[in-house]
Amino acid sequence: MFNLRVRFLVSGIGIWAAGTVAVRLFGQRLLHPADWRAILALFLISFPLMTLLVRRLCARFGLPRAEWPAGAISIALPTLLLDPFSCAFFSQVFPNIAPDAAGLFGGWMLCCCAGAMAGAVWRR
C-alpha cells in the first residue's frame, strides 16, 4: 500500500508541475479576474475534470475503493503545499499574468483540489 501512495504522490507532483508550466505559458488566456463568466466556466469545467481524473487514476492503479480518499490526498498534496507559494509570489512565478489574478488562481486551485477530493468519495 505504501508503494501505491508514493505512486499517487509522484502523480500529484507530475500533475502540479505540468499544470504550473501550462499556466506559466498560457495562463493569461485562462485567468481573467474581471470576467465573472470566464471564472464561472473555469471553475465549472475544472471541478468535474479533476473528479474524473482522480477516479480514473484510482481505478487504473488498482487502489482499493476504501483507499481512494488517501489517493486523492496524495494527488492534491503538491498543489495544496506548493501553490500557496505560487500565489504569494505570483508575479515572479507567472510574469505573463496580471498580478490581480493571484486570488483567482488560488481559488481555482482550491476548486481543483475539491474536485479531486469529491472524486474519491462520491459514488455513482
> For the chain, how many structural domains are there in total?
1
- Segment 70-119, tens digit of pLDDT: 999 999 999 999 999 999 999 999 999 999 999 999 999 999 999 999 99
**Mean confidence (pLDDT) of the chain:** 94
Q: Which residue has the higher pLDDT, 70 or 2?
A: 70
Range of the domain at 76: 2-121
Using the CB atoms, write b or e for 10-23: b if 16+ within 10 Å: ebbbebbeebbeeb
Q: What is the mean pLDDT of residues 20-44?
A: 96
pLDDT interval class at 54 (50, 70, 90): very high
Say what angle helices 68-88 and 36-60 make with each other, to 10 degrees: 140
Q: How far apart (Å, rounded) are the C-alpha atoms in residues 21 and 24?
A: 5
